[in-house]
Amino acid sequence: MNHLLSLMTFIPLLGALVILCLPRGKDELVKAVAACAAGIPLFLGYFLWKGFDRTTSAMQFVEKFDWIPMFNIQYSMAVDGISVVMVLLTALISFICIFASWEVQKGVKGYFALFLLLETGMMGVFCAMDFFLFYVFWEVMLLPMYFLIGIWGGPRKEYAAIKFFMYTLVGSVLMLVVMLVFYFNVTDPATGKHTFDLLVLKNQEARHGVLLLENVRFLCFIALFIGFAIKVPVFPFHTWLPDAHVEAPTAISVILAGILLKMGTYGLFRIGFPLLPDMANKCAVFMGVLGAINIVYGALCAMAQDDLKKMVAYSSVSHMGYCLLGMGAMTTAGFNGAMFQMFAHGLITSMLFLCVGVIYDRVHHRWISRFGGLATMVPVYTGFVTFAFFASLGLPGMSGFIAEAMCFIGAWQNGTPLYQKITVFSTLGILLGAAFHLWALQRMFLGEKNKIYTEQYHHVTEINGREIFCLVPLAILVVLAGCWPKPVLDMMNVSLSELQSFVHQYKP
Amino acid sequence: MQLGVVENLSYLTPEILLTVTLGAVIALDIGGPKDRKGHVARLAATGIAASILMVLLTAFEIESHQRARVFLFADSFVVDPFSLFFKLLAGTCAFLVAMFAAKTRRIEAHGEGEFFSLLLVTTLGLYLMAGVADLVGLVVAIETLSIPSYVLAGFYKRDRGSSEASLKYVLFGATASGTMILGLSFLYGLAGTTSFTGISSAVADGRADVLSVTLMLGLVLVGFGFKISAAPFHMWTPDVYEGAPTAVTAFLSTASKAGGFAVLLRFFYTVLARPEAAANPAGPWIPLGDPGWTSLVAVVSVITMTIGNLAAYRQTNVKRLLAYSSIAHAGYILLGFVVLHGSGIVAMLFYLAVYVFMNLGAFLCVIAVSEAGGGEELSDFRGLGWRAPFVGVCMAAFLFSLTGLPPLAGFVGKVYLFAALVDQGWVWLAVIAALNSAVSLYYYVKVVKAMYLEGIPRHGGEAVPLRVGGHFALLLFVCLLPTLLFGVYWQPLQRLAEWSVGARVPAETRAASR
């Protein structure tokens, strides 16, 4: 299977085109096509999983063609340990989200076509090994996301959509300029031409011109970091996130939190660290501090929310902080922890948002304080929510625990007193995380029924089969990865160790 | 080599064809059958199409003789790949605009004959502008474009907006032209010749002193800045674009602007700069005399794009919004001008080619909507995406392309411009431009928001469809195709732009043509 990655990337696009050609009013057919178009990449993902060589950090499943030879832009797709996990996660979550979107009423054709286009963009970002191609996919994602939030979103959807769009675009145009700076100041030793190939760009010997200046490199790293930090989102660039997550329809919130946020940290792993390892070292502590702020500040914000979805959104801010903390540590364990947290959080937050969607579909509001005693009315749903909350707060035996523990261990191994202080401070996040999850759980599900608002939810129905179908695979994976994380860690470990030692060489 | 009159004329077939068509259009309008609805439009469009064909033939002629350029009429006019590129661009614009106008009811009511004859004259002016190599020729060409443009802007005679547009355009235009001609006359006084190359050697020899040349430059820039609507000579743009018939606005914002860039490039890159290696115009250029004009243009470009983008924010009229956007785009295109490198010129040509399609497309959507019974205000676009899906998708694509989002052609154009800047060390300028284009998203999205996020049909209800004619749909598709195609595979266009700059043609030395 030579074109596995291209197939995984472009079959959704093909599906989108097919959907656009379908006649009006055939909503069921549209959904079926969408499910197939998202299902095939997941199926192919199995071969990726089987065929992936876990013993090497080299690029695998490589596809390389000249795209625009005059500019030496290549269509270059490949995966290594850093991206393969994300590719698989994308395939899985996209597939699940098709079913989570089953009840979309208006503009069904448009919704699923845009959704599949979005999947193509996400897959492409994780597979592209050419900076230009990466950038194209990175931006291609924005358009469908804008429409998906803006058309199918909640009451403040217009504001949320444009805020998301503007934030990300400002970040990415900075990235564009950095990309061009690299292009013109790196010459591929093999061909003597300028190149966008990420593997060549990280070759420090191939550089000349302004890239030899430390200040330029520093500015480049800052620009890249802002571009990626907006996506993560790192405090203080996080303000788009609560708006976008809250207003987006359920499935899109899942995609946003489950995959899009990871692109920021993935971008740092794929581009920021390898291309500018010396600057990455220099800014490491800074990243750790931002990570700690994310963890604690995100958790505190989450605790203050009365809107369940907003609480979950802020919990994402908090959890992405662990990634940052692990990355800033510059240790193999830290990198592994960050990567594993990306995977674990992708699963857990998807569950959380799906659970929020379930109750919202029935009651049409999400105010925590207007619920109470739900456990007696919808016990199965309560079970799923409890499971997701416990996973999210890092209960041992679930994937979140492993990830957070590894991040902390990695951060501690960094060894400098300052970083250890940051680490200790960050552990506060675990406590706060437990607090807001349990508090919400208690207010919504336990205790007496809410006396004032009982009317609003007394007819609430139990979680249905479709919703269970969406949640169960995620739950299984959360437990599996929590009890036996080795298969996942094995996939990424070699590449991350390689990256770590590469970055470590340039430590001042 | 010195060409005879007949040979001279053989290189001018596109222009001659346009003139003949013009005569035919006037004759048909005056003496043709009474029931001649659409005949004039068809004749004009055919004439323009034929002239485009002739441009292509001339291109092959030049290519087959391996000539870099041919000077005609005692060096006052030049036919080279550069001029052919702009003729091609102007011809395409004129053709598309003629096709739009053919189905615009109000233009029909105001007299097709006048409209299309004026359009043909402006096109002729653009063709001439592409090839001038002489001060007198420059003035003649610019005025051939301008004067009919003034009339076209006021084509809706009883419409106050249109009349206001025309008057504003005349007043601003006359002032700008006057200032420019003053500058040109100084230049003649300094150099003692009207030919661009003659002036260039005078500047290079130091016969003209730096201060005078700089002053003169300022004056000339007023004229060019007016044509391309660069700040601070952009004030006319929003009012004229809003008031003029939309087809005319489309023409002014694309073809006329491209013509302005053609003379700007030709003038500055002949008179004030020359290629470092004569045989390689695609390489670096060195400025003659005072190199300060590149910084001046850099500042103008930054101000232009910033003003355009900021002012576009508060617009509620789509035409006006697009007018400010076209000002911003003039700023972007000017970026390629400051780098003094062939790659900058290539980027400008590339961007212009792409810009023509996306901007024409956007205006075409405006025409299509108003012809189908809508209006030109932002509120008239509410729910358009649901009422007329194809127009909505096209408009969204054009607007996002103007923003510069991949995978649309506008993105590639911007990458080329930024790349030229970064390559030559103008990183700060690239950053400003990049941020500007990110900011511009906000107002483009305002239109998209009106089209898709507002006026969504309620559940179960159907949107009231807006019937857009097949004619417009076809034309929209014609604009959409390059916008999409060049966003995914743009190598052919890049080749064309590089050929136009003279990248791979062995340059004939000027001595040979003497």
Q: What is the pLDDT of residues B354-382, one digit of tens each?
A: 999 999 999 999 998 888 888 888 888 88
Shortest Cα–Cα distance, A181 to chain B (Å):
6
Q: Which two tokens stand for residue A295?
A: 């963890």
pLDDT in tens, A145-164: 999 999 888 888 889 999 99
Which has the minimum average pLDDT: A175-179, A200-204, A465-469, B334-338? A200-204
**pLDDT, mean of residues B446-473:** 80
Compute the distance between CA of residue B457 and CA of residue B469 in angstroms, rounded to an integer. 23
Q: Give the alpha-carbon dihedral of A370, A373, A376, A380, to 10 degrees.
A: 60
Whether B490 and A146 lie within 8 Å, measured CB to CB: no
Domain assignment of residue B153, yes or no: no
Would you place residue B414 in the very low, low, confident or very high pLDDT band (cuts 50, 70, 90)? very high
The answer to whether residue B489 neighbours chain A at the CB level (below 8 Å) is yes
**Taking CA atoms, what residue in B is nearest to A74?**
B489
Chain A (141-160) residues lying within 8 Å, Cβ to Cβ, of chain B: 142-143, 146-147, 150-151, 157-158
Residue range(s) defining the domain that contains residue B335: 273-504
Q: What average pLDDT does the structure give for chain B?
A: 86
In Å, how far from its chain's centre is CA B158?
28
Contacts of A150 in chain B (CB under 8 A): 449, 452-453
Confidence of residue A435 (pLDDT cuts 50, 70, 90): very high
In a domain, B402, yes or no: yes
B491 Cα to chain A: minimum distance (Å): 6
pLDDT at B34 exceeding the cut of 80: no
Query: In this structure, what are the phi and psi dihedrals at residue B284, rounded to the nearest 5 degrees?
Result: -70, 150
Give B197's pLDDT tier (boundaries 50, 70, 90): confident
The three state secondary structure string of B295-343 is: HHHHHHHHHHHHHHHHHHCCCCEHHHHHHHHHHHHHHHHHHHHHCCEHH
Q: What does the pLDDT read at residue B455?
A: 74
Q: Does A165 touch chain B (CB under 8 A)?
A: yes
Q: Where are the alpha helices (H) located in B424-469, listed in sequence order?
A: 427-448
Banded pLDDT at B290 (limits 50, 70, 90): low
> For residue A373, which amino acid is it?
G
Which of A484-493, B3-12, B71-80, B266-275 is predicted least confidently? B3-12
Q: Which residues of B touch A109 (CB under 8 A)?
A: none
**B449/A107 touch (CB, cutoff 8 Å), yes or no:** no
Find the residue in A nearest to B424 (Cα): A184
Q: Per-residue pLDDT for B4 more than 90? A: no
Residue at B455: amino acid letter: G
Of the pLDDT bands very low, low, confident and very high (cuts 50, 70, 90), residue B276 is: confident
Q: Are B191 and B289 in contact (CB under 8 A)?
A: no
Closest Cα of chain B to A16: distance in Å? 15
**A379 min Cα distance to partner chain B (Å):** 32
Q: Which residues of B touch A108 (CB under 8 A)?
A: none
pLDDT at B460 over 60: no
Task: Give the pLDDT score at B481.
Answer: 94
From the candidates A22, A103, A131, A136, which should be mutated to test the interface with B, based on the most B CB atoms within 10 A? Answer: A136
Please list every residue in chain A whose beta carbon sits closer than 8 Å to the beta carbon of residue B435. 170, 173-174
Q: What is the pLDDT of residue B149?
A: 93
Encode pLDDT of A182-194 as tens digits.
Answer: 999 888 888 888 8
Separation of alpha carbons B298 and B333, rounded Å: 11
Quick check: B449 contacting A, CB < 8 Å?
yes
Q: What is the mean pLDDT of residues B136-154?
A: 92
Residue B511 counted as domain residue: no
- Distance in angstroms (rounded) separating the CA atoms of residues B132 and B222: 18
Residue among B407, B434, B494 minimizing CB distance to A176: B434
CB contact (8 A) between residue B495 and residue A177: no
The yes-or-no verdict on residue B429 having pLDDT over 50 is: yes
Q: Which of residues 167-226 of A touch B (CB under 8 A)?
A: 169-170, 172-174, 176-177, 180-181, 183-184, 210
- The helix (run of H) or strand (run of E) holding residue B353 is helix B342-371
Amino acid at A366: R
Residue B291 pLDDT class (50, 70, 90 cuts): low
pLDDT in tens, A331-351: 999 999 999 999 999 999 999
pLDDT digits (tens, 9 = 90+) for A483-493: 999 999 998 99
The Cα–Cα gap between A73 and B360 comes to 29
3 state SS for A308-341: HHHHHHHHHHHHHHHHHHHHHHCCHHHHHHHHHH
Q: For chain B, give the percent of residues with pLDDT over 70.
A: 94
* Residues A181, B407: C-beta atoms closer than 8 Å: no
- Contact call for residues B12 and B72 (beta carbons, < 8 A): yes
pLDDT (0 to 100) of residue A68: 86
- Number of Cβ within 10 Å of residue A202's Cβ equals 20
Inter-chain residue contact A158 with B449, CB threshold 8 Å:
yes
Helices assigned H by DSSP within B229-273: 236-243, 246-251, 257-271
Closest CA to A352 of A228, A483, A457, A246: A246
Confidence of residue A236 (pLDDT cuts 50, 70, 90): confident
For residue B425, the chain A residues in CB contact (below 8 A) are: 210
With beta carbons under 8 A apart, name residues in chain A contacting B450.
none
Structural contact between residues A288 and A324, judged by C-beta atoms closer than 8 angstroms = yes
Instruction: Look at residue B407 and tell me whether its pLDDT is greater than 80.
Output: yes
Whether B96 is covered by a domain: the verdict is no
Nearest CA to B128 out of B92, B77, B56, B174 is that of B77
The residue of B339, B399, B445 whose CB has the most chain A CBs within 10 angstroms, and thus the best one to mutate to test that interface, is: B445
Cis peptide before A236 (omega within 30 of 0): yes
On the question of pLDDT at B413 being above 70, the answer is yes
How far lies A457's CA from each of A136, A153, A155, A364, in Å? 46, 22, 21, 9
B76 or A7, higher pLDDT: A7
Contacts of B411 in chain A (CB under 8 A): 136, 139
Rounded to two decimals, the ipTM of the complex is: 0.91
CA distance A259 to chain B (A): 20
Q: Give CA separation, B503 vs B58, B345, B354, B500, in Å.
A: 18, 11, 20, 7
Mean of pLDDT values over A241-249: 90
The answer to whether B438 faces chain A, any CB pair under 8 Å, is yes
Question: In angstroms, what separates the C-alpha of A122 from chain B's closest C-alpha?
Answer: 14
**What secondary structure does DSSP assign to A455-508, as a single string?**
HHHTTPPPP-HHHHHHHHHHHHHHHHHHH--HHHHHHHHHHHHHHHHHHHHT--
A449 pLDDT more than 90:
no
- Nearest CA distance, A68 vs chain B (angstrom): 6
Q: Which amino acid is at A413?
A: Q
Average pLDDT over residues B267-281: 80
Whether the predicted pLDDT of B32 surpasses 80 = no
> pLDDT-derived band of residue B514, with 50, 70 and 90 as boundaries?
very low
When pLDDT is cut at 50, 70 and 90, the band that residue B328 belongs to is: very high
Mutate to test the interface with B, among A176, A211, A216, A219 (most CBs of B within 10 A): A176
Q: Among the ranges B190-204, B273-287, B479-493, which has the highest mean pLDDT value?
A: B479-493
Whether the Cβ atoms of residue A319 and residue A378 lie closer than 8 Å to each other: no
For the cut 60, the answer to whether the pLDDT of residue A42 exceeds it is yes
Is the pLDDT at B509 greater than 60? The verdict is no
Q: Using pLDDT thresholds of 50, 70 and 90, give the confidence band for residue B167.
A: very high
pLDDT of A415 higher than 90: no
The answer to whether A183 contacts B495, with C-beta atoms less than 8 Å apart, is no
Contact with chain A for residue B425, Cβ under 8 A: yes
For residue B142 the two structure tokens come to: 């610019």
At residue A69, what is the residue type? P
pLDDT-based confidence at residue A177 (cuts at 50, 70, 90): very high
The pLDDT-based confidence of A270 (bands split at 50, 70, 90) is very high
Residue that is written with structure tokens 């850093």 in the block: A82
pLDDT of residue B505: 40
Q: What residues of B are in contact with residue A143 (Cβ under 8 Å)?
A: 400, 405
For chain A, domain boundaries: 291-508
In whole angstroms, give the CA distance from residue B479 to residue B473: 10
Segment among A220-229, A251-260, A308-317, B185-194 with least mean pLDDT: B185-194
Asked if pLDDT for residue B433 goes beyond 80, the answer is yes
- Taking CB atoms and an 8 Å limit, are B405 and A68 in contact across chains? no
Q: What is the pLDDT of residue B458?
A: 65
Q: Tell how many helices (H) and how many strands (E) occur in chain B.
A: 23, 4
CB contact under 8 A, A70 and B494: yes
pLDDT at B504: 47
**B418: nearest CB among A151, A162, A177:** A177
Kindly tell me if the per-residue pLDDT of B87 is higher than 90.
yes
* Interfacial A residues in 26-55 facing B (CB < 8 Å): none
Contacts of A162 in chain B (CB under 8 A): 442, 445, 449
Q: Which of A71, A147, A177 sits opposite B431 (nearest CB)?
A: A177
CA distance A36 to A95: 9
Q: B411: which 2 tokens? A: 């993105």
* Rounded Cα–Cα distance for residues B289 and B292 (Å): 9
Query: Residue A23 contacts by C-beta under 8 Å, 6 or more apart in sequence?
Result: none
- pLDDT at position A460 over 70: yes
Q: For residue A435, what are its two tokens?
A: 């607090």
Angle B342-371/B389-403 helices, nearest 10 degrees?
Answer: 150
Instruction: Give residue A454's pLDDT band: very low, low, confident or very high (50, 70, 90).
Output: confident
